[in-house]
């Protein structure tokens, strides 16, 4: 070979077969999709049409959906032989990097963002001194009204306080009875009227706006009233140290309208469900009773706790879920289905549970503790019961807790005579968005994902996807099946938006 010919060969680029201009009757081998050709040659087209016709599955909308799905998976061509130089440009379904969102109109995902982690302050926003706070686990001496006023009892006096008002006159005295001990305080839902229980078995009703006592409820109890719960603005339920529970209609002179008998020792906790259909009571006899509003006979008697029960909290998002906490020798938080009486879960906290509060804007539970050098507030994620935070500022046991009207802030009173204000539940809008994002994730079992992998190996997977997903577009209850089937062709979804259980 001479030098001129050699130079000529080096100077010319090698011609790509895809750039050749072939005769229109000779197909371009490099532009043909042999996988699709093999599929078309082996599919049972006639059988599929017969099945569709038999079950009435063929429709213009179904065919349009089939064409859209075929276009997304680059299967929108109908010819086996290619007479064009370039194959059609595929629609990008799975990006080069899994960190980028897909561009498919069928599988549209928002741009992934860095998950927001809420910062929970370890120090209280405000500390107020409460000299004379009674160190008694069985009493209820703190409540937060709907008009954003705190009520706290210190020995024989009840004080009202706007927790955010820095002025000296932010605290006012509501009532004092010499030589008598306040055993409970409870705001009515209207935030104006407040009930005060006394050790002499009486209950006083006060108008906090006018600083005036409206009436005294007598005769219902014979011992100190340690717990109270408003069903509404007219019905007040009270429990005493002897185990008696009564409901009072504060509008009538003969105020006792119902008596609930089931406890044989002091009642430390009373809570009406948000709907007012059920009442929960916890006692020093280690018993919890669930009462139906239409009967004075207990519906369920729950006996799993091994110490006194004071902490009761109804789940705000499900009317029949109740959380309860036990005393020193128990230390467990238990969850109950109050329709069936079944214990759904239990977790041992290792110390006395004095109060429980649900986050009103997210699935979180706050517990307060005392004893065994564990005097903290603990925030739990429900239902996993993973600890989100522990607030360990207190040096003595936490006795009482109350929640602000917006659900964000919590007040705790501890045995070192200190009232602490905590921003523990955070911004409600941020919490709701975070919780909604987690709820949007669909949970799949490992068996379901194994089935997906098995189905991906079937030769007719495209028809499986089309025939199974298309009907679910109009059947929301089958959306999980649709997502599972989408995993047949988009396996990367399982690592971004799915949760394994």
DSSP output for 171-214: EEEEEE-TT--EEEEEE-TTSSEEEEEETTS-EEEEETTTTEEE
Percent of the chain with pLDDT over 90: 59
Class of residue 166 by CB neighbours under 10 A (exposed 0-12, middle 13-18, buried 19+): exposed
Q: Are 222 and 202 contacting, i.e. CB atoms less than 8 angstroms apart?
A: no
410 within a domain of the structure (yes/no): yes
Which sign does the torsion angle of CA 156, 162, 165, 170 carry? negative
State residue 211's pLDDT score: 95
Tokens of 397: 């046991």
CA distances in angstroms from 395 to 72, 124, 369, 391, 398, listed in the order given = 63, 14, 11, 11, 9
Residue 345 sits at the vertex; the CA angle it makes with 337 and 297, to the nearest 5 degrees, is 35
What one-character DSSP code corresponds to residue 310? E
Contact 157, 176 (CB under 8 A): yes
Question: Which of 233, 242, 247 is closest to 263 using CA atoms?
Answer: 242
> 394 near 420, Cβ under 8 Å?
yes
When the pLDDT of each residue in the chain is averaged and rounded to a whole number, the result is: 80
Domain carrying residue 304: 126-425
In this predicted structure, which of 47-61, 140-154, 439-453 has the lowest mean pLDDT? 47-61
- Measured from the Cβ of residue 418, the count of other Cβ atoms closer than 10 Å reads 20
Closest among 181, 174, 250 to 218, alpha carbons compared: 250
Say what the pLDDT of residue 162 is. Answer: 94
DSSP character at residue 289: E
Residue 288: per-residue pLDDT? 99
Over 50: is that where the pLDDT of 314 sits?
Answer: yes
pLDDT surpasses 60 at 57: no
- 469 assigned to some structural domain: no
Alpha carbon separation from 164 to 124, 126, 127, 223, 403 (Å, rounded): 13, 9, 11, 36, 14
Least confident among 42-46, 302-306, 396-400? 42-46
Average pLDDT over residues 265-281: 97
Q: Is pLDDT larger for residue 451 or for residue 392?
A: 392
User: Which of 172, 186, 175, 271 has its CA nearest to residue 225?
Assistant: 186
User: Is the pTM for the entire model greater than 0.85?
Assistant: no
Looking at the domain assignment, is residue 248 inside a domain? yes
Please, is 259 exposed, middle or buried when counting C-beta atoms within 10 Å of its C-beta (0-12, 13-18, 19+)?
A: exposed
Q: What is the pLDDT of residue 415?
A: 96
Q: Name the residue with higher pLDDT: 86 or 194.
A: 194
Residue 385 inside a domain? The answer is yes
Question: Is 117 a domain residue?
Answer: no
Q: Which two tokens stand for residue 433?
A: 């968005």
Structurally, the chain folds into a number of domains equal to: 1
- What pLDDT does residue 168 have? 75
CATH number at 179 reads 2.130.10.10
- Rounded Cα distance between 487 and 444, Å, is 11
For residue 103, tell me if it sits in a domain: no
Q: Looking at 66-70, 212-216, 443-447, which range is the least confident one?
A: 443-447
pLDDT reported for residue 23: 56
Q: Using the 8-state DSSP alphabet, how is residue 384 labeled?
A: T
Q: Where are the beta strands (DSSP E) in 284-330?
A: 288-292, 298-302, 309-314, 321-326
Whether 50 is in a domain gets the answer no
168/475 Cα distance (integer angstroms):
62
- pLDDT for res 408: 95
Helices (H), 116-165: none
Of the listed ranges 25-34, 208-217, 338-347, 398-407, the least confidently predicted one is 25-34
Within 10 angstroms of residue 321's Cβ, the number of other Cβ atoms is 20
Q: How many percent of the chain have pLDDT more than 70?
A: 62
Structure confidence at residue 230 (pLDDT): 99
pLDDT above 80: residue 472: no
Residue 55: predicted pLDDT? 42
User: What residue has token string 């214990």?
Assistant: 343
Distance CA 76, CA 83 (A): 16
Q: What does the pLDDT read at residue 374?
A: 85
Q: What is the pLDDT of residue 102?
A: 42
Q: Distance (Å, rounded) from C-alpha 132 to C-alpha 128?
A: 13
120 found inside a domain: no
The yes-or-no verdict on residue 495 having pLDDT over 70 is no
């Amino acid at each position: 070979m001479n030098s001129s010919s050699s130079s000529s060969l080096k100077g010319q680029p090698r011609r790509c077969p895809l750039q050749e201009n072939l005769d229109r009757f000779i197909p371009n081998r490099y532009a043909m999709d042999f996988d699709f050709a093999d599929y078309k040659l082996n599919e049972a087209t006639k059988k599929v049409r017969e099945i569709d016709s038999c079950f009435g599955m063929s429709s213009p909308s179904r065919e349009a959906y089939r064409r859209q799905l075929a276009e997304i998976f680059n299967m929108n061509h109908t010819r086996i032989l290619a007479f064009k130089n370039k194959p059609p440009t595929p629609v990008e379904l799975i990006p080069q990097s899994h960190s980028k969102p897909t561009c498919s109109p069928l599988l549209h995902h928002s741009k992934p963002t860095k998950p927001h982690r809420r910062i929970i302050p370890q120090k209280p926003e405000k500390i107020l001194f409460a000299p004379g706070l009674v160190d008694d686990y069985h009493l209820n001496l703190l409540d937060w009204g709907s008009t954003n006023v705190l009520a706290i009892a210190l020995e024989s006096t009840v004080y009202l306080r706007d927790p955010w008002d820095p002025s000296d006159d932010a605290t006012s005295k509501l009532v004092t009875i010499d030589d008598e001990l306040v055993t409970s305080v409870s705001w009515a839902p209207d935030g104006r009227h407040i009930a005060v229980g006394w050790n002499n078995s009486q209950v006083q009703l006060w108008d906090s706006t006018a600083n005036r006592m409206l009436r005294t409820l007598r005769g219902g109890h014979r011992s100190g009233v340690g717990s109270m719960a408003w069903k509404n603005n007219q019905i007040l339920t009270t429990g005493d140290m002897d185990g008696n529970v009564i409901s009072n209609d504060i509008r009538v002179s003969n105020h006792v309208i119902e008596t609930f008998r089931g406890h044989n020792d002091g009642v430390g906790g009373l809570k009406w469900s948000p709907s007012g259909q059920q009442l929960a009571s916890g006692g020093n006899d280690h018993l919890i009773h669930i009462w139906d509003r239409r009967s004075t006979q207990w519906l369920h008697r729950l006996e799993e706790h091994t110490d006194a029960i004071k902490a009761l909290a109804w789940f705000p998002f499900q009317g029949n879920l109740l959380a309860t906490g036990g005393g020193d020798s128990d230390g467990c938080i238990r969850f109950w289905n109050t329709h069936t009486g079944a214990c759904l879960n239990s977790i041992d906290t290792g110390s006395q549970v004095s109060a429980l509060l649900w986050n009103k804007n997210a699935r979180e539970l706050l517990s307060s503790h005392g004893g065994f050098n564990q005097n903290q507030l603990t925030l739990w994620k429900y239902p996993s019961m993973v600890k989100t935070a522990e607030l360990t500022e207190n040096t003595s046991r936490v006795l009482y807790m109350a929640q602000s009207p917006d659900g964000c802030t919590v007040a705790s009173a501890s045995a070192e005579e200190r009232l602490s204000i905590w921003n523990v539940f955070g911004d409600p809008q941020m919490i709701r968005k975070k919780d909604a994002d987690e709820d949007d994730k669909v949970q799949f079992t490992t068996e379901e994902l194994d089935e997906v992998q098995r189905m991906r190996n079937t030769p007719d997977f495209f028809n499986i996807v089309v025939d199974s997903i298309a009907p679910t577009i109009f059947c929301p209850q089958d959306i999980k099946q649709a997502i599972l089937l989408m995993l047949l062709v988009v396996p990367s979804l399982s690592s971004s938006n799915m949760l394994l259980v």
